[in-house]
Amino acid sequence: MAGPATPPLAPSARGVRNVVFVEGVRTPFGKAGDKGIYAGTRADDLVVNAIRELLRRHPGLPAERVDEVAIAATTQIGDQGLTIGRTAALLAGLPKSVPGFAIDRMCAGAMTAVTTTASGIGFGAYDIAIAGGVEHMGRHPMGEGVDPNPRIIADKLVDPTALVMGQTAENLHDRFPEITKERTDAYAARSQERYAEAVKTGKIGPELVPVATRSPELGWGLATEDEPPRPGTTVEQLAKLKTPFRPHGRITAGNAAGLNDGATAALLADEDTARELGLPVAMRLVGYAFAGVEPEVMGIGPVPATEKLFKRTGLSVDDIGLFEINEAFAVQVLAFLDHFGISQDDPRVNQWGGAIACGHPLASSGVRLMTQLARQFAERPDVRYGMTTMCIGIGMGGTVIWENPAFEGAK
């Protein structure tokens, strides 16, 4: 007997739509700790500042048209807890009809907030969404309050070093001995140099949201620039730094991102809705992928994530004209570049420097990568595709490919 016929799609069902990145903003990134610029600033206030700035920059967007607010935090406790996407939306002045949620994928939190809401836009569940992340590592060190199941180690599901990110980076050096400390120090010095040049020439700055700060000693202030950069850093200076994760190791404070505070936010939209509201289209989403790897070498995660995405999209590394790779550790970036046959001096890679210079407030960093790529697209009509990619704690990687709407084709 024949089964019942499949009912037709509801009249409101839609096909897949183009998802666009309208704009991203971020707070200046600070150093974590009592002496950092945000020592006296709440985590939720950081991301609220970013959301408000997005709305201020796009007055033609009716606030009630925002369908979702997704905010990531790795340590969802204290002023980074309480479903921060919803509370930040309320504090930012969005109508109470606008929902929100919190999300966690460690370092790729904001990246996942973007891909999750973008999927909803593509499916037709949303027209407009705000996605971002916040991390106040001074108030909430990574792992605060967590209670890992002892079976993770006792049953040998992962190597004990998997829970210490610096040790996973040392493990990556072990796996790829051709990536020497000299190479990572050279890469780190170049990141500092590229970042300093980008600030000097105004490439970095327009996306920053000033944040009021308060210090018991200094009183009120205004954060307008990143605190972590060390301009003028040399390979000779980096060679003298201690290796805290292993005696005579290779990971130092100079060839890794620091402990940082900061927030990001991005405006995403269906492309037709963006055109209707007069919103700019900075990037068009092509696809994304996440992949798991052995947690003890989590830094290799971007490689399988990118391979998976190339397979899905039919693109290859030769199609990518700009790369924004999160610099959690220099060794992790070099492992990615070596795998794909890209020189560590390639001008397509992190041309404005990266997290080794400006900082890596965990869950917020994915949108920083996207924001920089979007601004680079505007200057490069000769580039069609760009990539944002990052390693993720507990053994994962994430990659997103974007298309440049300003692409003019080969000249």
What residues act catalytically? 107, 360, 391
Residue whose tokens read 């005579």:
248
Q: What are the Cα distances from residue 165, in Å, to 154, 186, 244, 362?
A: 19, 21, 12, 12
Q: What is the token pair recorded at 123? A: 């499916």
DSSP 68-123: EEEEE-SS-SGGG-S-HHHHHHHHTT--TT--EEEE-BTBTHHHHHHHHHHHHHHH
Distance of CA 324 to the CA centre of its chain: 10
List CB contacts of 346: < 8 A, sequence separation 6 or more.
Answer: 323, 337
Q: Count Cα atoms within 13 angstroms, Cβ side, for 154.
A: 4
Q: Which residues does residue 288 pair with via DSSP β-bridges, in sequence order?
A: 400
What DSSP character marks residue 41? Answer: S
Q: How far is CA 189 from CA 39, 52, 132, 232, 369, in A?
A: 28, 35, 29, 8, 19
Beta strands in 73-137 (DSSP E): 100-103, 128-136
Kindly give the residue spans of alpha helices, DSSP state H, lying in 155-180: 165-175
CA atoms within 13 A on the CB side of 69: 31
Longest dimension (CA), the chain: 81
Looking at residue 54, what DSSP letter applies?
A: H
* Cβ pair 27, 225 in contact under 8 A: no
